[in-house]
């Protein structure tokens, strides 16, 4: 044989000897005998090596003149046993989407703002029985009047205020469209049912695209009781941003303004439909490029100055969305001759807020010096007192007789009467219904009996009581007949 073949054969035998040495060093199986079964376990994690496989691999490698080192050979017929990886420490369990997850408990605030301590306490004079010959005023930001079930909640609120002897109610931010006739008729019917001799006034920004019942902002005023007998006229500002009511007296008149000033915004931050955006739109349509909050104060000052020239006493109430204790706002009202009624009768008010998410008093009341002299009580009620709202109400007891005169004024002006001789159909319906009720309740017989008692006994205490009860009953019959005729 040639020398190269001998060298090749010698290399082959060397590889075979290496394989034998490797097979002798391979771990063996250890068998454990049990009574019912035999279980084989490996002393190491490797399985026995098939030497025939190594021989075949070595022969193939020798033919290709290559040698596979033992460390890189892959044994066949290995037993792969699954061993799960141990869980990592602090590993979170997978979330079960079908299981209700517990809610995270937020940390309880331990620090209390000073202005929050007085949220549910009275500031000023706590409301009590109305003084005689005084009119009680109630001013509050309503944050939207509920329209559910034909304003049922609103009717309950008006009745609750009647129990507090309130005769003049002012609401701001009613979120109602005052140009919507359906809303006007519903509110008027609700108020007439509760207080027949009352007067209602509404206002909202006169934007062209507002036709639905919902419109942010707006004001509402209700005059009832003895104050309603002095009513002369009502109206709203040119752009519908605030409203007013005028009451007649013998020597002078009283005008009450209800104002809602929008929150500070810019063209970039004001959302669609916000009060600031409505005011901005109306002003731009009339080529007025003044900031809305500034322009509404300028317009109000102009109206008040013209009223003061005509000897009209002024009361201004509402939400100004600015600290009423600030010098800027008070200087504005001082320049037009009005006094802050809150600071006058509550000289050092504690740090408090009138808006639940605010920090300052932003609802206020101002009046002329004559009005200030007639005020007896001023109080700021706690949050959610009588009426649920995020603003605190303000009440004032004012002696209107000192402002106007000691007796009621003349009859209601003809433009505001619901029964007119120019509408014969209503007159006939009224007289027919009143005649029916007059006969039903024997009013003629009761009047004759009352005349006999006065002639025989005179104006005794019992006879006067009977006369007053009969007068009240006749007024109710006339009011009911009037409603029946107007429907």
Residues 308 and 406 in one domain: yes
**In this structure, is residue 111 part of a structural domain?**
no
Residues 303 and 278 in one domain: yes
Q: Which of 71-80, 439-448, 461-470 has the lowest mean pLDDT?
A: 71-80
List b or e across 167-183, with b for residues whose CB sees 16 or more CB atoms inside 10 angstroms: bbbbbbbbbbbbbbeeb
**Binning pLDDT at 50, 70 and 90, where does residue 132 land?**
confident
Averaged pLDDT, 37-61: 44
Residues 379 and 472 in one domain: no
DSSP for 191-212, please give it.
HHHH-TT-EEEEE----TT--S
Question: Which strand (E) or helix (H) includes residue 340?
Answer: strand 339-340
- Give the pLDDT confidence score for residue 279 in this predicted structure: 94
Higher pLDDT, 72 or 320: 320
The most confident of 65-74, 131-140, 225-234, 398-407, by mean pLDDT: 131-140
**In this structure, is residue 325 part of a structural domain?**
yes
Averaged pLDDT, 342-352: 89
**In this structure, is residue 34 part of a structural domain?**
no
Strand 135-141 with 219-223, pairing: unpaired
DSSP for 89-126, please give it.
TTPPPPP-TTSPPPPPPPPPP----GGGTTTTS-EESP
Boundary of a domain, candidates 390, 414, 438: 414
Distances from the Cα of 226 to the Cαs of 133, 195, 221, in angstroms? Answer: 9, 11, 15
Query: Tens of pLDDT along 449-484?
Result: 888 888 888 888 888 888 888 888 898 888 888 888
Residues 384 and 437 in one domain: no
Residues 288 and 406 in one domain: yes
**In this structure, is residue 124 part of a structural domain?**
yes
Whether the predicted pLDDT of 20 surpasses 70: no
Residues 359 and 426 in one domain: no
Averaged pLDDT, 123-128: 94
Q: What's the chain's average pLDDT?
A: 81
Number of domains in the chain: 2
Strand-pairing partners, residue 220, are 171, 202
Residues 307 and 397 in one domain: yes
Residues 460 and 370 in one domain: no
Whether the predicted pLDDT of 201 surpasses 70: yes
Whether the predicted pLDDT of 21 surpasses 80: no
Query: Tens of pLDDT along 370-403?
Result: 999 999 999 999 999 999 999 999 999 999 989 9
Whether the predicted pLDDT of 40 surpasses 50: no
Residues 429 and 393 in one domain: no
Q: Which of 154-168, 412-426, 436-450 has the lowest mean pLDDT?
A: 412-426
- Give the pLDDT confidence score for residue 193 in this predicted structure: 86
Averaged pLDDT, 236-263: 94
**Binning pLDDT at 50, 70 and 90, where does residue 129 land?**
very high
**In this structure, is residue 106 part of a structural domain?**
no
- Give the pLDDT confidence score for residue 18 in this predicted structure: 73
- Give the pLDDT confidence score for residue 113 in this predicted structure: 59
**In this structure, is residue 453 part of a structural domain?**
yes
Residues 278 and 368 in one domain: yes
Averaged pLDDT, 424-439: 88
Spatial contact of 393 and 161, defined as CB atoms under 8 Å apart: no
**Binning pLDDT at 50, 70 and 90, where does residue 56 land?**
very low
Residues 300 and 358 in one domain: yes
pTM above 0.75, yes or no: no
Boundary of a domain, candidates 361, 380, 414: 414
With vertex at residue 402, the alpha carbon angle to CA 400 and CA 405, rounded to the nearest 5 degrees, is: 80
**In this structure, is residue 234 part of a structural domain?**
yes
Residues 251 and 384 in one domain: yes
Spatial contact of 374 and 400, defined as CB atoms under 8 Å apart: yes
**In this structure, is residue 444 part of a structural domain?**
yes
Residue 255, helix vs strand vs coil: strand
- Give the pLDDT confidence score for residue 428 in this predicted structure: 87
Whether the predicted pLDDT of 225 surpasses 60: yes
Averaged pLDDT, 70-81: 51
CATH of the domain at 395: 3.60.10.10
Domain of residue 442 covers: 420-486
């Amino acid at each position: 044989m040639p020398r190269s073949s001998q060298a090749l054969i010698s290399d082959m035998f060397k590889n075979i000897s290496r394989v034998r040495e490797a097979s002798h060093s391979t771990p063996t199986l250890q068998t454990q005998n049990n009574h019912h079964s035999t279980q084989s376990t490996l002393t190491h994690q490797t399985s026995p090596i098939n030497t025939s496989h190594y021989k075949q691999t070595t022969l193939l490698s020798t033919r290709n003149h290559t040698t596979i080192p033992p460390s890189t050979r892959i044994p066949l017929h290995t037993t792969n046993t699954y061993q799960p990886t141990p869980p990592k420490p602090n590993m979170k369990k997978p979330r079960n989407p079908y299981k209700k997850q517990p809610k995270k408990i937020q940390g309880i605030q331990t620090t209390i703002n000073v202005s929050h301590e007085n949220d549910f306490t009275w500031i000023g004079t706590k409301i009590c029985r109305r003084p005689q010959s005084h009119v009680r005023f109630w001013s509050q930001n309503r944050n939207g009047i509920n329209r559910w079930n034909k304003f049922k909640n609103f009717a309950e609120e008006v009745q609750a205020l009647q129990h507090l002897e309130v005769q003049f109610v002012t609401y701001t931010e009613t979120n109602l469209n005052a140009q919507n006739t359906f809303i006007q008729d519903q509110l008027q019917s609700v108020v007439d049912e509760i207080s027949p001799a009352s007067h209602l006034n509404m206002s909202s920004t006169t934007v062209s695209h507002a036709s639905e019942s919902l419109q942010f902002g707006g004001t509402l005023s209700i005059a009832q009781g003895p104050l309603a007998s002095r009513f002369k006229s009502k109206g709203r500002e040119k752009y519908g941003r605030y409203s007013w009511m005028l009451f007649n007296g013998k020597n002078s008149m009283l005008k009450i303004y209800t104002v809602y000033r929008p929150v500070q915004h810019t063209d970039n931050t004001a959302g669609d439909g916000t009060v600031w955006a409505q005011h901005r739109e109306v002003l731009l349509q009339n080529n007025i490029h003044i900031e809305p909050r500034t322009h509404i104060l300028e317009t109000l000052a102009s109206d008040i100055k013209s009223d003061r020239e005509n000897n009209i006493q002024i009361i201004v109430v509402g939400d100004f969305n600015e600290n009423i204790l600030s010098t800027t706002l008070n200087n504005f009202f001082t320049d037009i001759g009005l006094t802050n009624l809150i600071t006058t009768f509550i000289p050092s008010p504690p740090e408090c807020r009138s808006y639940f998410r605010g920090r300052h008093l932003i609802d206020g009341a101002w009046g002329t010096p004559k009005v200030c002299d007639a005020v007896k009580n001023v109080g700021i009620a706690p949050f959610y007192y009588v009426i649920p709202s995020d603003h605190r109400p303000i009440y004032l007891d004012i002696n209107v007789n000192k402002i106007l005169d000691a007796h009621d004024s003349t009859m209601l002006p003809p433009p505001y009467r619901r029964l007119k001789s120019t509408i014969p159909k209503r007159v006939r319906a009224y007289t027919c219904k009143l005649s029916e009720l007059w006969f039903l309740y024997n009013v003629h017989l009761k009047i004759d009996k009352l005349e006999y008692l006065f002639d025989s006994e005179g104006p005794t205490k019992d006879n006067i009581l009977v006369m007053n009860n009969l007068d009240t009953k006749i007024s109710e019959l006339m009011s009911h007949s009037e409603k029946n005729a107007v429907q």
